[in-house]
Structure formats: structure tokens, C-alpha cells
Amino acid sequence: MELGGSDAFIVLEDADIAHTIKWAVWGRMYNCGQTCCAAKRFIAVDAIADKFLAEFKKALAALKAGDPMDEKTTLGPLSTESALLQLLAQVDNAVAHGAKVELGGKRINRPGAFMEPTILTHVEPGNPAFRDEFFGPVAMFFRVKDEDAAIALANDSDFGLGGSVFTKDVARGKRVASRVETGMMFINNISWSDADLPFGGIKDTGYGRELGDMGIQEFVNHKLVRYVVAEAPAV
């Protein structure tokens, strides 16, 4: 059972920024952000936060809305009009509770359910957006002081589907990944669904796994046959 996610995208100070930005855009915007395991909470440590946010904002602003069947289009529509209206209402509610719109936040004036790529900052724990899942092109950006604070913030979620960490030190990435409370973690790439990888999460995301060796076990009857040389206990 899979019930959604609010995946953290952790950027440490030693991350390759060019590589990280490409994955940040793809991670938030593939399928126009309408993906359960999309990157949704972008958490950057102080040393790289300004640079990451500036480059992320620039890259999202460059996306062009258009016909999804046109190969030149880099920003497609939401699935339905109601999905767009719900997302706009979530953004408005977040702002009403203290969030700042760093980029976008509005409907695009063209036919179809198109929304501007959006970045929200200053989302505090008391803001409903802090716990919400934004199922569309809305990213929340958080600045933290260090690795431990990034992990703590990543874990402060009702969801536990996936997440990612970006660092040039793979051993460090593995250490961070082991401390984040999710069913899946990815180092220097983003949550992804492949037939050969088990997919699923913990917490309010749900339980169980699909795909991979773990997933196929959900469709298999297991039978125990035991042989042991032992005397029966005394009555």
C-alpha cells in the first residue's frame, strides 16, 4: 500500500552543484511534479544554500509551458483543472501562514491546467504546508546549519517514501542515507521506480513493497518444510 510522499532532497556543502541542479529540476518537475516519489522538500546546508537556491530558481524559471506532445515543451499541465485549483489553494494557504513565494505561485495564462514552477521558502513547522504533499510543480526550500540538522528536518515528516542526498563523498552519502527514515534513499540521484528495485515506504506512506525481489514475494505462497533430529520434550 502506497499513500504518497514528501521526499527530502538533501544538498550537502560538498555537492557537485551543476549535477545537483539538474537532478533537482528533474526530481521536482518530471510529470509536472505529479509523482508520489518526486523530490518535494529541498534541504540545503548553509554553506551551499544561497548558490543552490539561486541556480534552482534560475533553472525552474527557464521552463517553457506548452503542448505536452511538442518535444520543445519543458513544462506540461496538471492532470485536471481540479488538481490545479487544489494546488493553488495549498500555495495560498501556505502564504497565509507565513510562507514566502520565491518563484511562481500562479496559474499560467494559457489554455489548460498550467501552473508556474513554484518555490516556497520560510515554511515553518506550524504552517499546514510543512506537513502537506504538494502534488504538482511546487518545491519547498529549507536552509539548515549542517548535516545533522538536514537529517532531522528530513525525518520531521509524516511520510516516509523516499529521498536523496547529494555529496561528493559516497561514504558520507551512505551514512546520511542510513539515518533518514524512509523506505528508499538515493545518493546523487533521485527516487526512482525500476522493475528490479523494491519500491515502498514507511510511516503514513504505507507498508509493503512492490517490484524487485521483495515485491514478487507478495505474490508467492511460502511453504515451510522442516527436518530436524531431536527428541520430543518430556510430557
Look at strands 138-144 and 186-187 and give their pairing: unpaired
Cα(206)–Cα(101) distance, integer angstroms = 31
Q: For every one of its 235 residues, what pLDDT tens digit does the chain have, with 9 covering 90 and above?
A: 777 899 999 999 999 999 999 999 999 999 999 999 999 999 999 999 999 999 999 999 999 999 989 999 999 999 999 999 999 999 999 999 999 999 999 999 999 999 999 999 999 999 999 999 999 999 999 999 999 999 999 999 999 999 999 999 999 999 999 999 999 999 999 977 788 888 888 898 888 888 888 888 888 888 899 999 999 998 8
**Nearest CA-CA partner of 28 in 152, 102, 109, 136:** 136
Q: What are phi and psi of 63, to 5 degrees?
A: -70, 145
Is position 37 annotated as part of the catalytic site? no
Residue 11 and residue 116 in contact, taking contact as beta carbons nearer than 8 Å = no
- What is the spatial distance between Cα 217 and Cα 201, in angstroms, rounded to a whole number? 16
Instruction: Output the pTM of the full model.
Output: 0.92
> CA–CA separation, 191 vs 163, rounded Å?
6
* Helix (H/G/I), strand (E/B), else coil: 8: strand
* Element at 44 (helix H, strand E): strand 39-45
User: Choosing from 2, 13, 181, 210, which is the catalytic residue?
Assistant: 2
Distances (CA, A) of 58 to 34, 109, 177: 21, 21, 28
pLDDT at 202: 87
Q: Is the C-alpha dihedral spanning 104, 106, 108, 113 positive or negative? A: positive
List 13, 32, 36, 210, catalytic entry: 36
Domains and CATH numbers, the chain: 7-219 (3.40.309.10)
Q: Is 36 a catalytic residue?
A: yes
Handedness of CA 183, 185, 190, 196 (dihedral sign): negative
Closest CA to 147 of 182, 178, 125, 122: 178
Amino acid in the structure at residue 212 = G
